[in-house]
Amino acid sequence: MITDEEIIEVVLEENDEQDESNANEEADIRPTISLPEAFTGLKTLTQFLQYSTEPEIPSEDIAVLYRVQRVMELKYIESLKQKTLDSYVSKAN
């Protein structure tokens, strides 16, 4: 016959395993970074590297960052395009 202590021990072990798996799942969740936040961060990094005397970063690498910054800027601008009035009227009908 199983004793009360053995039942409690099994239940506590299962709870510990569930807590560990929940902690692992929470660690895997990555924060969502918006396009404007990413663009601002990249712009700040590019300016820092361009005007910084420490560390020595080749100008070719900084030029690549500027190209990436330009692509992100274009994506951001495209996301800001206004809809036409026709698109709202067609939804209403």
Query: What distance in Å separates the CA atoms of residue 65 and residue 49, rounded to the nearest whole number?
Result: 10
Query: What distance in Å separates the CA atoms of residue 20 and residue 10, rounded to the nearest whole number?
Result: 16
Tell me the per-residue pLDDT of 4-57, one tens digit each, with 9 for 90 and over.
787 778 777 887 777 666 666 666 677 788 888 988 999 998 888 888 877 678
Asked if residue 60 has pLDDT above 80, the reply is yes
What is the Rg, in whole angstroms, of the alpha carbon atoms belonging to the chain? 27
Q: Which residues, including other chains, have CB under 8 Å from residue 88's CB and lie 6 or more apart? A: none
Could you state, in order of their start, the residue ranges of all structural domains in the chain?
A: 1-30, 32-93
Element (H, E) at 22: helix 4-28
Query: What distance in Å separates the CA atoms of residue 73 and residue 36, rounded to the nearest whole number?
Result: 9
